[in-house]
Amino acid sequence: MSASTSARPSAGPSSGANASAGGQGVGILVVDDEPNIRTTLRGFLENRGYLVRTAGKPDEALRALDEGVIQIVLQDLRMPDCDGVELGQRILARAPGVVVIILTAYSTIESAVRAMRAGIYDYLTKPVEPEELLAKLSRVVERMRLDRQVRDLKAQLGEPAQGLIGRSPALRRVRELVAAAARSDVPVLVSGETGTGKELVARAIHEQAPTAQGPFVALNCTAIPDALIESELFGHVRGAFTGANRARPGRIAAAAGGTLFLDEIGAAPPALQAKLLRVLQERVYTPVGADHDERAQVRVMAAMNQEPREAVQAGRLREDLFYRIGMFRIDLPPLRERLEDLPLLTDGLLARAARSRGRPPPRVAPELLTTFYAYSWPGNVRELENLLLTMLALQPGELLTAAGLPPDYAHLGTAASAAAASEEPRALAVAVENFERHFVTEALRRNGGRMRETAAELGIDERSLRRKLRRLGIDRQQVRGSDEPRSRNQE
């Protein structure tokens, strides 16, 4: 490349560029074989708040993608022994979430069309105009911000993972850890009993992280025989073993640019755990039967239903692997330890299940929730979800009651009644009262605060409803709203 194609921006703040279009810590990789162009662009962009790495060769560029968080690549179109569009394709294959912008002094319609078809975001002609460069980068940063905002809104307004519905302190802490994990790329270990939602937590982290545009690939280590799990994870070359008639990539390759989730990692054979340690430490692995290494372009998350340190002491989990993958831990509480979340959790699961069946979500009778509070939920959220699905099939009406419990759960209604007749635990009594208050308030609101209609919906007389309102501290006038006449003769 000749000197006449050099970039024009000055590294100093005196250029005409608007410094307010700051990079705000966005990572940029500048790839160009000319050192003066790399130096000029680096200084210019760092003064605007971007975090800049540079590379003079294709292999250096690919290594830089592995070593730091890069969101934008500014790349020369013509480099020695390398086609710029081809390099852009290799960059996008290795890091699907990045934005690649071509820098070229040989701008033609043909090269631009070819670059766009290859997935390149845009191109700039050399010498680069400072204002044009900053404007283009500003649009890219704004697009990334909007993409993240859309993902966040989907997470808030869409369907939260069923294991993360609730307002208990334990759930708030889990959500805080999920958000923190999404802001980094460190390995994460999720622990919790069966059915608490470990994979859902891993998916939530993936969807909120820069890896969201990449794949999420899960592997349950208990579901694959020991003789096959290494090939399943690392892939194999042709002839690696009997029946290997062709080369096959493994789960690590399938997760390139995204997240690899290893469920029940303690069930993996010790030899495989040692090879996983190399993936985490060196980001390389060897396909079965191969004589060369492959790069591991993935973020690794794992889960187990045993307390990790107990698994280490029992010899199920290598200690060095635990120290590598278990420094960022998210421990999911069992459902029995967050019973205050039952009303929201039940409503959320019912709404999702009913919507998938094209019907409005039914209400939950107070005595049914009392039954739920009295149960220990050994299968956790998964058990609750499956029970609600069964009850939806057994009770097609608008109200789920304890009478609709399937046979294996029928005894819970009797147990809950006995518990209610005896000295009820304070926490349970408060939770039931809170649900009853919510249930009655919503009935009042649906009926515009009218006592007769509300009592009929609840299946009680108006006198009982008045006593209930006094006991629960519900102000009917506030519930029904200011547009409802307040004359007592309507009661």
Instruction: Give domain status of residue 401, yes or no.
Output: yes
Are 166 and 345 contacting, i.e. CB atoms less than 8 angstroms apart?
A: yes
Q: Cis ω on the peptide bond leading into residue 127 (within 30° of 0)?
A: yes
Model confidence over 228-278: pLDDT tens digits? Answer: 899 999 999 988 888 888 888 889 988 888 999 999 999 999 999 999 999
Query: How far apart are the C-alpha atoms of 46 and 11, rounded to whole Å?
Result: 8
Model confidence over 319-377: pLDDT tens digits? Answer: 999 999 999 999 999 999 888 889 889 988 998 888 878 888 888 888 888 889 888 89
pLDDT band at 428 (very low <50, low <70, confident <90, very high): low
DSSP 405-419: --GGGHHHHHHHHHH
Per-residue pLDDT, 431:
63
Query: How far apart are the C-alpha atoms of 65 and 82, rounded to whole Å?
Result: 18
Q: Are strands 72-76 and 27-31 parallel, antiparallel or unpaired?
A: parallel
pTM (2 d.p.)? 0.57
Instruction: Give domain status of residue 242, yes or no.
Output: yes
**Domain match, 219 and 268 both:** yes
**Domain match, 216 and 259 both:** yes
Q: Which helix (H) or strand (E) holds 235?
A: strand 235-236
Say yes or no to pLDDT of 74 above 90.
yes
- Residue 99's domain spans which residues? 3-149
**Domain match, 412 and 267 both:** no
Of 130, 149, 168, which residue constitutes the final position of a domain?
149
Query: Per this entry, what is the length of the chain?
Result: 491
**Domain match, 110 and 236 both:** no
Of 280, 305, 333, which residue constitutes the final position of a domain?
333
**Domain match, 241 and 325 both:** yes
**Domain match, 384 and 238 both:** no
Least confident segment among 173-187, 332-346, 476-490: 476-490
Q: How many CB atoms lie within 10 A of CB 86?
A: 11
Instruction: Give domain status of residue 450, yes or no.
Output: yes
**Domain match, 106 and 209 both:** no
Mean pLDDT is highest, among 247-256, 300-309, 405-414, for 300-309
Task: Please count the structural domains in the chain.
Answer: 3
Per-residue pLDDT, 414:
58
CATH classification at residue 306: 3.40.50.300
**Domain match, 366 and 246 both:** no
Smallest Cα–Cα separation from 175: which of 283, 167, 473?
167
Which residues are registered as beta bridge partners of 364? 400
**Domain match, 212 and 319 both:** yes
**Domain match, 173 and 241 both:** yes
**Domain match, 449 and 356 both:** yes
Per-residue pLDDT, 188:
96
Query: How far apart are the C-alpha atoms of 405 and 384, rounded to whole Å?
Result: 12
CA 342 to chain centre: 23
**Domain match, 181 and 312 both:** yes
Backbone angles phi, psi at 360, to 5 degrees: -70, 150
Say yes or no to pLDDT of 423 above 80.
no
Of 149, 179, 207, which residue constitutes the final position of a domain?
149
